[in-house]
């Protein structure tokens, strides 16, 4: 079934990414953190902001840095391809502001900017499938995870591999339910009057 997302394949890929040893260098003097990223490359920043609360974290998904950015700001620019125009532009602005700037990318133009460049070792993935490569340097650098946490997560993924058939069936069942709900919501949206559409749209989320 073409619409069924192969969740287990994504989880298996995470094993390689969990072992990614690079980490963001975090200066002691920083007062706030800005993470720039678009689309799939922006997922890592969103996840990180849910885990980290010691300093203010701001997410940027356009061409402009916040006005407060200064030498006391850590700016992490994330672009899997390295050629996302908005993210490259933000990295250049950060450097001009004197912010400590980190680039996380598999290559491209972004790889030439920043005080620290973290190179993702694979460039043959979709950005959303490389989230681990983009997230682990943040989690490691800010001390959110340690080797014990990573080993435990790796072991869980190993168990998924050993029970791959059963997990694949469960994942497919979950995907089918999600697809059914989406189709049902679309049908309701067409069938109901205009006033009923917002609630039907919420069903898709």
How does pLDDT run along the chain (205 residues), one tens digit per residue?
444 445 666 767 788 898 899 999 999 999 999 999 999 999 999 999 999 999 999 999 999 999 999 999 999 999 999 999 999 999 999 999 999 999 999 999 999 999 999 999 988 888 988 999 999 999 999 999 888 888 888 887 777 767 666 666 666 666 666 665 555 565 555 555 554 444 444 444 4
Backbone torsion region of residue 202, taken as left when φ is above 0, otherwise alpha when ψ lies between -120 and 50, otherwise beta: alpha
3-state secondary structure the chain: CCCCCCHHHHHHHHHHHHCCCCCCCCCCCCCEEEEECCHHHHHHHHHHHHHCCCCCEEEECCCCCCCCCCCCEEEEEEECCCCCHHHHHHHHHHHHHCCEEEEEECCCHHHHCCCEEEECCCCCCCHHHHHHHHHHHHHHHCCCCCHHHHHHHHHHHHHHHHCHHHHHHHHHHHHHHHHHHHHHHHHHHHHCCHHHHHHHHHCCC
Residues 99 and 70 sit within 8 Å (Cβ to Cβ): yes
Q: What is the pLDDT of residues 64-88, one digit of tens each?
A: 999 999 999 999 999 999 999 999 9
Q: What is the pLDDT of residues 11-38, one digit of tens each?
A: 677 888 988 999 999 999 999 999 999 9
pTM of the model: 0.75
Residues 25 and 102 sit within 8 Å (Cβ to Cβ): yes
């Amino acid at each position: 079934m073409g619409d069924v997302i192969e969740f287990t394949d994504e989880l298996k890929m995470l094993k390689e990414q969990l072992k990614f040893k690079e980490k963001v260098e975090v200066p002691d003097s920083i007062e706030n953190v800005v993470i720039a990223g678009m689309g799939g490359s922006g997922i890592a920043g969103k996840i990180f902001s849910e885990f980290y609360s010691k300093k203010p974290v701001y997410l940027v998904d356009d061409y402009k840095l916040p006005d407060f950015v200064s030498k006391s700001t850590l700016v992490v620019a994330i672009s899997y391809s390295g050629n996302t125009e908005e993210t490259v532009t933000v990295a250049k602005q950060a450097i001009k502001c004197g912010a400590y700037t980190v680039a996380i990318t598999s290559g491209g133009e972004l790889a030439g900017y920043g005080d620290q460049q973290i190179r993702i070792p694979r460039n043959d993935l979709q950005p959303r499938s490389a989230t681990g490569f983009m997230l682990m340097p943040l989690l490691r650098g800010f001390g959110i995870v340690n080797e014990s946490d990573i080993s435990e997560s790796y072991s869980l993924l190993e168990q998924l591999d050993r029970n791959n058939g059963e997990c694949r069936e469960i994942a497919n069942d979950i995907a089918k339910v999600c697809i059914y709900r989406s189709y049902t919501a679309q049908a309701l949206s067409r069938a109901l009057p205009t006033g009923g559409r917002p609630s039907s749209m919420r069903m898709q989320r």
